[in-house]
Amino acid sequence: MIDMQDVAYGYGAEPILSDLTLRLAPGSFHFLTGPSGAGKTTLLKLCYAELVPTGGHVSIFGENAAALDRDRIALTRQRIGVVHQDCEFLDHLTVRENIALPLMVAGRHGLGQEANLTELIAWVGLGARAEARPPELSGGERQRAALARAIIMDPDLILADEPTGNVDWEMSLRLLQLLTELNRMGKTVLIATHDLALIRAAKAQVQARVLRLAGGRLSAAGADL
């Protein structure tokens, strides 16, 4: 799905990323950890062609990311769900309407999607909050809404950038459960996080590969995680 070979990103003598090699196979589950400022968000942006590498090669679903035009990038991103660190919603729309936005942008809203939308909202535990507005939601509810919006298009790959950074431990475990369930459905999952306790909890639920990004380079994390 994602194949990076000798990737670098940045300018000047000290690039953010350098000599980075990564392969995300279909159905795999990965954690990406490392100190703040290590470049975890940058790596995720390379995975969905928000950024293109300044060196090396990134392949997304078999296509050279650097060669994708705007239309092809839009089509490719329909296969990738991104849960951003800071959830951004349109405050004048309901939770249901915010989650459905990707369908509307893709011209797929209304094509037998209402039942699927209702089922998805219930699956993330927001059935009773579907008509609420984003300012009325708690941090955990916002994160679950963000996850629902990220997967409404039934993507093959899910990228989550610190999805539990602003919620308590109980909600972190709930979000982790949702992500592991998606992996069991065959989705590829990559979670960027600094929360080592979350990674330890995940190991009891899913076979996950843990990667560490530090000094611009990627390596397998130690067994003590």
* Residue-wise pLDDT tens digits, 16-45: 999 999 999 999 999 999 988 889 999 999
Instruction: Report the pLDDT value the prediction gives residue 22, as an integer from 0 to 100.
Output: 95
Instruction: Report the pLDDT value the prediction gives residue 112, as an integer from 0 to 100.
Output: 64
Instruction: Report the pLDDT value the prediction gives residue 15, as an integer from 0 to 100.
Output: 85
Mean pLDDT score, 50-58:
95
> For residue 97, with 0-12 CB atoms within 10 Å meaning exposed, 13-18 middle and 19 or more buried, which class applies?
middle
Instruction: Report the pLDDT value the prediction gives residue 53, as an integer from 0 to 100.
Output: 94
Instruction: Report the pLDDT value the prediction gives residue 223, as an integer from 0 to 100.
Output: 47
Mean pLDDT score, 108-128:
84
**Percent of the residues in the chain that have a pLDDT greater than 70, as a whole number:** 96
Mean pLDDT score, 122-138:
95
Instruction: Report the pLDDT value the prediction gives residue 205, as an integer from 0 to 100.
Output: 86
Mean pLDDT score, 158-174:
90
* Residue-wise pLDDT tens digits, 133-149: 999 999 999 999 999 99
Instruction: Report the pLDDT value the prediction gives residue 86, as an integer from 0 to 100.
Output: 81
* Residue-wise pLDDT tens digits, 79-111: 999 998 788 899 999 999 999 999 888 777 665
Q: What is the mean pLDDT of the chain?
A: 91
Instruction: Report the pLDDT value the prediction gives residue 72, as an integer from 0 to 100.
Output: 93
Residue 113 pLDDT grade (very low, low, confident, very high; cuts 50, 70, 90) = confident
Task: Identify the structural domains of the chain with CATH numbers, from first to last.
Answer: 1-79+155-225 (3.40.50.300), 87-154 (no CATH)
